């Protein structure tokens, strides 16, 4: 899977601009009681459903923005996966920004298939990407999914196109005004102008910097 990761230069530039790019290192230390998590053997349908719904508490109040991660698929839109964890203050700040900023919230709802993936929980996801002519579907655990994208700080936001092809990984928190511009950069197709990763980083940096001065 091709990965285009936001370059260090952009992170530094955003930090200089005071845009608040931050993240929590590593995974949360919060642990889940092993008796709560089941492999699915010899448990009732109700108990299995309760296990599958544990992560939904992570985005309570944003159910109209983030879809159930049981199935992760673009649904014909750009896809946005937010990887978070329990005990991550920057994840909470990001979710609060979405709740408190109608423009940001509505833009995500209108243009993205969005998922909040809490790495503190264990869940099996139906991951469906690809085209109609070449569909790709796998069942993957939360930890395997985070390994696929080499997630380190939380939050990390992964943007994919309508076929599930990775466009950009953005590690860390960024304030609402700049977050909207990053979403616009993806949705408006500005990223398509880049010939390689370096140029994509530069174009995004310029796009966000121009927004901060407007």
Asked if residues 110 and 78 have their Cβ atoms less than 8 Å apart, the reply is: no
Average pLDDT score over residue span 60-89: 96
Q: pTM here?
A: 0.80
Highest mean pLDDT, choosing among 6-20, 47-61, 139-153: 139-153
Q: What is the pLDDT of residue 12?
A: 37
The count of other CB atoms within 10 Å of the CB of residue 177 is: 16
Which pLDDT tens digit goes with each residue over 105-126?
A: 999 999 999 999 999 988 899 9
Q: Cβ contacts of residue 124 below 8 Å, gap of 6+?
A: 40, 70, 139, 140, 141
Phi, psi of 108 (to 5 degrees): -65, -45
* Residue entry with tokens 């080499």: 150
* pLDDT value at 26 more than 80: no
What CATH topology corresponds to 8-25+47-212? Glutaredoxin (3.40.30)
Q: Where are the alpha helices (DSSP H) in 17-88?
A: 45-52
Q: 35-44, 54-63, 88-97, 180-189: lowest mean pLDDT where?
A: 35-44
pLDDT confidence band for 132 (50 / 70 / 90): confident
Q: Give me 41's structure tokens.
A: 């053997």
Confidence at 32, pLDDT banded by 50, 70, 90: very low
Write down the domain spans for the chain.
8-25+47-212
Cα separation of 2 and 99, whole Å?
Answer: 32
pLDDT band (50, 70, 90) for residue 182: very high
């Amino acid at each position: 899977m091709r990965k285009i990761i936001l370059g260090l230069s952009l992170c530094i530039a955003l930090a200089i601009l005071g845009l608040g790019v931050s993240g929590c290192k590593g995974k949360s230390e919060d642990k889940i009681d092993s008796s709560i998590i089941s492999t699915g053997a010899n448990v009732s349908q109700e108990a299995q459903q309760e296990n599958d719904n544990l992560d939904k508490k992570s985005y309570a109040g944003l159910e109209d923005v983030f879809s159930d991660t049981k199935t992760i698929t673009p649904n014909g839109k750009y896809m946005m996966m937010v990887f978070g964890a329990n005990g991550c203050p920057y994840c909470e700040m990001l979710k609060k920004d979405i709740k408190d900023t109608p423009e940001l919230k509505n833009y995500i709802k209108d243009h993205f298939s969005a998922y909040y993936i809490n790495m503190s929980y264990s869940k099996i996801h139906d991951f469906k990407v690809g085209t109609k002519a070449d569909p790709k579907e796998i069942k993957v655990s939360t930890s395997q999914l985070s390994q696929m994208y080499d997630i380190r700080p939380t939050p990390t936001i992964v943007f994919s196109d309508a076929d599930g092809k990775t466009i950009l990984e953005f590690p860390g928190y960024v304030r609402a005004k700049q977050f909207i511009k990053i979403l616009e950069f993806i949705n408006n197709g500005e990223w398509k102008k880049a010939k390689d990763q370096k140029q994509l980083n530069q174009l995004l940096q310029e796009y966000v910097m121009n927004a901060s001065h407007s």
